[in-house]
Amino acid sequence: MFSYMGRVLELDLTKGKATPMTLSEDLVKRFIGGRGIGASFLWDLLKPGVDPLSPENVLIFSVGPLTGTSAQSSHRWVAQFKSPLTTTYFRSVGGGFFGAELKFAGYDAVVVRGRAERPTYVYIENDVVEFRKADIVWGMTTDATRDFLRDETSKDSKMVVIGPAGERLVRISAIVTDDMRTAARGGGGAVMGSKNLKAIVVKGSSRPTIYDEDAFREVVKEQVERFVKNPVFERLKAFGTDGSCYPFYTLGHFPTYNFKQLELDNIEAFRIENLTKYMVKHYGCYGCMIRCGKVFKLTEGPYAGVVWDFPEYETHWSFGGNLGITNVEAITVANMLCDKYGLDTISTGVVIGLVYELYEKGIIGRKEIGGLDLRWGDPEPMVNLVRKIALREGIGDILAEGVKRAAEALGRGAERFAMHVKGLELPAYDPRSAKANGLNLVTSPIGASHTMGWNSYEIAGIPQKMDPLSVEGKAEITKYVQDRVALIETGVFCTLPWNRWMMDEELYSRMLYAATGIREFNDVKYLLLVGERIFNLERLINAREGIDGKYDKAPLRIVKEPVPRFPSKGQVFEEEILLKDYYRARGWDERGMPTRGKLNELGLSEVKPASTRIDVK
Amino acid sequence: MFSYMGRVLELDLTKGKATPMTLSEDLVKRFIGGRGIGASFLWDLLKPGVDPLSPENVLIFSVGPLTGTSAQSSHRWVAQFKSPLTTTYFRSVGGGFFGAELKFAGYDAVVVRGRAERPTYVYIENDVVEFRKADIVWGMTTDATRDFLRDETSKDSKMVVIGPAGERLVRISAIVTDDMRTAARGGGGAVMGSKNLKAIVVKGSSRPTIYDEDAFREVVKEQVERFVKNPVFERLKAFGTDGSCYPFYTLGHFPTYNFKQLELDNIEAFRIENLTKYMVKHYGCYGCMIRCGKVFKLTEGPYAGVVWDFPEYETHWSFGGNLGITNVEAITVANMLCDKYGLDTISTGVVIGLVYELYEKGIIGRKEIGGLDLRWGDPEPMVNLVRKIALREGIGDILAEGVKRAAEALGRGAERFAMHVKGLELPAYDPRSAKANGLNLVTSPIGASHTMGWNSYEIAGIPQKMDPLSVEGKAEITKYVQDRVALIETGVFCTLPWNRWMMDEELYSRMLYAATGIREFNDVKYLLLVGERIFNLERLINAREGIDGKYDKAPLRIVKEPVPRFPSKGQVFEEEILLKDYYRARGWDERGMPTRGKLNELGLSEVKPASTRIDVK
């Protein structure tokens, strides 16, 4: 028998009933944990074609076999659901302390179904599960909700909550932890909102069991040693993801002006030496010595006095470069508003980018946007629009639907300027400047998510350099990276330290085996096959929703308009060639669907039920 | 020997030196504690004529003999200093948990002198006193400062801090506790700012000694019984000071439109049944079962999601009725900004009232006020101006000087619309509608402070009714109430329960005697004489600064313009008659100065040094 918590809690909000279940051994072997388990549950439980904002949608929170152990950087949690933004399968990953606490309460996953009649939060303290009234916190920002729910439960409670945006079913709303980490993408906040679920609050007192304590201690020791002697570790520790703003801009990422990719005046503002002056504190997620979180203090301009979590690289971009804005103070405040209201900073910035460009082109007028004068680089209207989107005020009510739906609703050719894949807004990378990275954005089952296949080869030359502008070999490397990320997120690991020197598959396999005693995990090839299995299963869930290769599609601008600035000057995204290669590398047919042979190879020809129901205690 | 902590901590910021001292028995007998002790220290230590924002100003925090005991509602703390707003002696009283904690650390008072070279905070943990660098928290809002300083000291630390307004020497800036209670009036925040003192953080572990435990337990039991069976207790507990907005308006208080006193449209918004819907939580200061604090939740309009301490009666007025505004959401947000930036809500609202009226009269133009369109009743520019004042942005830089200096700086007859006495902005009471209450505002040594002599007879008919519009007998009742408040603030009691049924002098004398064993305190007449002694000593400090009866002066509007609305229609404030009566009742000469005979009666003919210095441990 292997060592694994293996407990899942099903919450039926309609009936107000909590049912603990056990994971089958077969399922754990095939999917490990985290994202794998969640995808498998969704395959089993989600009826195709349901409205993502209906009680029929299923929302799964999961952690993995290393969560809550002494391993470093492996304590994230995964939210999976059918997305109200993309109508695809979706997975969104969050940090903080919620994942570890869920494990301490004795659960590897929570499956949320139905819809509560009234605003509700669920309080889980080990085996005791309560459905509680959330009337008082309904309507509150995330931070106020946290404070109130800690008063009502325990000052040590960890939780996931939604803000006013999720309550208002904003399709780009986030799920937010007590410490303002987010599973931001895909509208998970709206899924919780549609279920009248304001929060899941957890307090646990057990610790995960380890199969071989001595071996595990040794492998974690090795992991820590590898961390501390790596320069990437020091850089992340010192600067977080902020360190990437300026260098990535020079490499052709950090797209400017809604992907027009013009030179950005005052890009100097994002040089790390100009950002460190804002940093007043470092903080980290549970069990992570990187502590990439930074706190910014603003002392000048209209936002002086504000102290908040720094805007990550993506947020510096979405509210910054993407809008021609280099005012760090305003970007920090926009980030704060997103955390408080519960919004995805990437999607919110991109949808604002759409209106900035539509206004520039004269496609929408000042009256339509509540009198705002949207000039590239002007931060005030941006901050204003964030609030309007969260509260669905004026034009915000249209933008709250996400960039694809907003452009369709506005009409007049607005779709040309809506930067998304499958409805998910593009992140801070230009497919034209890094082709494998772009290929991931286009093919990812959840739309343009950088995290599903962030290509360190092309972007950072890690573990080895690769010409980002060439199309050669990009299909294979994209497949490898995507499968590997799926594997990483079974842990549930953070991808930041996965640079070969700090973390790699080999070290992971030893950690997994020592922790669980599952012999199969002691084999890197087996693990990568699990990653591929997960990725293909996600594709199958989409197929069931009618979403196939036709949706693997970059915005027209990316395919047609050459980049005007160095070093990607003249480049477009060679979508057709890249996709053809990619489907072949994946063993998929020309419609982008896994072949029967591939499914057999992955053991997906007949997907088994994910769980065995057991009686409530 | 009586029972009294009797320790004072002198903090010399210039030298970075902390010196504990003991209070002399004589001083305690003559001044009891709190405001009495502080006034006595200021008399001894403050050199006349010093710039209030220079290192020579002295800032005293004090508590009293009942602080930290089991007595109810007696745990406030007093800040005393020469005011940068009024240049008079000043006293400002705050609540929360700071006072009790200071006592637990073993101190009855802290005397702050000098100026630190760099931003500093002082951490007091019992006998250990540290001057610590405050560079990181300098520039932060009060709530962020609190969080950071708790991280640096203890999560249980209590503190007084300043926000960006105090740092910027805004003359209407407040001193704010960790739980957002304020000693708001008179610019204490700027005094701390001028001393480079961001915070005083306290953690204590002792408890005050009680002279006669049994007797004290009995008298507190009686106090609690009197509280719970009184309907005023229930009302304060249910509604806080918010319950007064609507009824006080109907009685001619809650002045409208910068004291033009026109009927206020939509006053219904302030009916208590329309305010209770915002309340989501009750909270109280240390050792107070009234728990008058309420938390408001905003769910509509542009501020939806905000959760913050409710605006007290005064704040509903200063940002509400005073500006013709009845938007409770915007008033709550203005209140929140004042707490975060560290501003006095009364003074800030009144100084904004000045610009609203100057704009209406065409005395200042749109350009001068940063393009704002200041229409009575429009909340947006009000919220905007609060921020500008705190940060000294644009017109805010002038308004940050307080209404008197701002009007002088603007010139063009602006002084006519500056509502203040001695430079302190008027509160939510119209001297024309309650003459004794008005007489207090005019004669109080600190300027127009309602708390120095709030007249329950006139305003609430407690303990008995009195015609508020008559001038008869108003001098005597004003003197009595002012002296009694001085006495109340030796405890340091909150004035709210002092309605004869809940608290009165007789009960107080028994509490004081049981707590201290000082026989003299077991005599109501003696206690009231202490109150009168304190009030006269405050007057003497002012006299030393050249501030005499000439400064007992209501704004012209109050003296000349009859009130246009019921029930005070046609009334003006009969200043000359009232003052003449008052000086006589006080035993003062026609210049408003205590006569030699009065000083002898009060034992103030020769004021003794306040303390005996002892060596540092």
Q: Which residues of B touch A (CB under 8 A)?
A: 136, 139-141, 144, 148, 163-164, 280-281, 297-299, 302, 304-307, 340-341, 387, 390-391, 393
Interchain CB distance below 8 Å, A163 and B305:
yes
Of A163, A304, A391, nearest to B164 by CB-CB distance is A304
- β-partners of residue A157 are none
Question: φ and ψ at B158, to 5 degrees?
Answer: -110, 155
* Chain A hits for B340, Cβ within 8 Å: 305
The two three-digit tokens of residue A478, written as one number: 């994209």
Contact indicator for A438, A554 with CB cutoff of 8 Å: yes
- Which residues fall within 8 angstroms of residue A525, CB to CB, at 6 or more apart? none
- β-partners of residue A403 are none
B116 to A262, B57, B122, B148, B393: CA distances (angstroms): 49, 13, 11, 20, 26
Interchain CB distance below 8 Å, B141 and A306:
yes
Return residue ranges of chain A for CATH 1.10.569.10.
236-425
For residue B344, give how far its alpha carbon lies from the nearest alpha carbon of chain A (Å). 17
Return residue ranges of chain B for CATH 1.10.599.10.
435-488+523-601
pLDDT at B483 over 80: yes
At the topology level, CATH places domain B7-203 in Aldehyde Ferredoxin Oxidoreductase;  A, domain 1 (3.60.9)
Q: What is residue B230's three-state secondary structure?
A: coil
Question: How far apart are the C-alpha atoms of A254 and A245, rounded to whole Å?
Answer: 7
Could you say which DSSP state residue B92 is in? E
Confidence (pLDDT) at A3: 62
* Chain B hits for A298, Cβ within 8 Å: 139
Interchain CB distance below 8 Å, B305 and A281:
no
Of A141, A148, A302, nearest to B305 by CB-CB distance is A141
Of B148, B163, B307, nearest to A144 by CB-CB distance is B307
Question: How far apart are the C-alpha atoms of B174 and B183, rounded to whole Å?
Answer: 6
For residue A392, give how far its alpha carbon lies from the nearest alpha carbon of chain B (Å). 10
Interchain CB distance below 8 Å, B280 and A148:
yes
Interchain CB distance below 8 Å, B305 and A391:
yes
Of B302, B307, B390, nearest to A141 by CB-CB distance is B307
For residue B141, give how far its alpha carbon lies from the nearest alpha carbon of chain A (Å). 5
Interchain CB distance below 8 Å, A148 and B281:
yes
Block means of pLDDT (10 residues each) for chain A, length 617 residues? Answer: 77 98 92 97 96 98 97 98 98 98 97 98 98 98 98 97 98 98 98 98 95 97 96 94 95 97 96 96 97 97 97 97 98 98 98 98 94 96 98 98 98 97 98 98 98 96 95 98 98 94 96 96 98 97 95 98 97 98 97 93 71 32
- Span B435-488+523-601: which CATH code? 1.10.599.10
Question: How far apart are the C-alpha atoms of B110 and B158, rounded to whole Å?
Answer: 15
Q: Which residues of A touch B (CB under 8 A)?
A: 136, 139-141, 144, 148, 163-164, 280-281, 297-299, 302, 304-307, 340-341, 387, 390-391, 393
> Is 0.80 topped by the overall pTM?
yes
- β-partners of residue B199 are B121, B161
The two three-digit tokens of residue A331, written as one number: 């970007």
The chain B residue lying nearest A309, using CA atoms, is B144
Interchain CB distance below 8 Å, B148 and A281:
yes
- Which residues fall within 8 angstroms of residue B225, CB to CB, at 6 or more apart? none
Average pLDDT, chain B: 95
Distance of CA B211 to the CA centre of its chain: 30
* Chain B hits for A297, Cβ within 8 Å: 136, 139-140, 144
Interchain CB distance below 8 Å, A307 and B148:
yes
The chain A residue lying nearest B297, using CA atoms, is A140
Q: Which helix or strand (DSSP H or E) is residue B382 part of?
A: helix B379-391
Q: Which of B120, B252, B257 is nearest to B199 (CA)?
A: B120
For residue B127, give how far its alpha carbon lies from the nearest alpha carbon of chain A (Å). 29
> A509-528: string of b/e by CB count within 10 Å (b at 16+)?
bbbbbbbbbbebbeebeebb
CB-count burial class (<10 Å; 0-12, 13-18, 19+) for A413: exposed
* Residue from A297, A308, A338, A397 whose CB has the most chain B CBs within 10 Å, to mutate: A297
Tell me which residue has tokens 């990276």: A481
Question: How far apart are the C-alpha atoms of B601 and A602, rounded to whole Å?
Answer: 100
Tell me which residue has tokens 């049994």: B214
- β-partners of residue A89 are A82
* Band of residue B6 on the pLDDT scale cut at 50, 70, 90: confident
* Residue from B307, B308, B332 whose CB has the most chain A CBs within 10 Å, to mutate: B307
The DSSP line for B293-336 is EEEEE--SGGGTT-EEEPPPHHHHHHTTGGGT---HHHHHHHHH
Of B305, B341, B393, nearest to A139 by CB-CB distance is B305
- Span B236-425: which CATH code? 1.10.569.10
Contact indicator for A83, A186 with CB cutoff of 8 Å: yes
Interchain CB distance below 8 Å, B391 and A141:
no
Question: How far apart are the C-alpha atoms of A274 and A310, rounded to whole Å?
Answer: 13
Q: For CA atoms B342, B346, B350, B356, give the dihedral sign.
A: positive
Q: What percentage of chain B exceeds 70 in pLDDT?
A: 97
Max intra-chain CA distance, chain A: 68
Q: Where are the alpha helices (DSSP H) in B489-617?
A: 505-516, 524-544, 556-560, 575-586, 596-601
Q: Which of A551, A430, A419, A446 is nearest to A93 (CA)?
A: A446
Interchain CB distance below 8 Å, B302 and A163:
no
Interchain CB distance below 8 Å, A148 and B304:
no
For residue B113, give how far its alpha carbon lies from the nearest alpha carbon of chain A (Å). 26
The chain B residue lying nearest A384, using CA atoms, is B302
Return residue ranges of chain A for CATH 3.60.9.10.
7-203
* Band of residue B607 on the pLDDT scale cut at 50, 70, 90: low
Question: SS3 breakdown of chain B: % helix, strand, coil, rounded to 5?
Answer: 45, 15, 45
Interchain CB distance below 8 Å, B297 and A163:
no
For residue A387, give how far its alpha carbon lies from the nearest alpha carbon of chain B (Å). 8
Q: What is the mean pLDDT of residues B285-293?
A: 97
- β-partners of residue A111 are A10, A60
Cα of first residue to Cα of last residue in chain A, in angstroms, is 23
* Residue from A137, A373, A391, A397 whose CB has the most chain B CBs within 10 Å, to mutate: A391
* Chain A hits for B141, Cβ within 8 Å: 305-307
Average pLDDT, chain A: 95
A598 to A476, A526, A532, B505: CA distances (angstroms): 15, 15, 10, 89
For residue B217, give how far its alpha carbon lies from the nearest alpha carbon of chain A (Å). 31
Question: How far apart are the C-alpha atoms of A261 and A256, rounded to whole Å?
Answer: 5
Interchain CB distance below 8 Å, B140 and A305:
yes
Interchain CB distance below 8 Å, A144 and B299:
no
Interchain CB distance below 8 Å, A305 and B164:
yes
For residue B409, give how far its alpha carbon lies from the nearest alpha carbon of chain A (Å). 24
Contact indicator for B520, B407 with CB cutoff of 8 Å: no
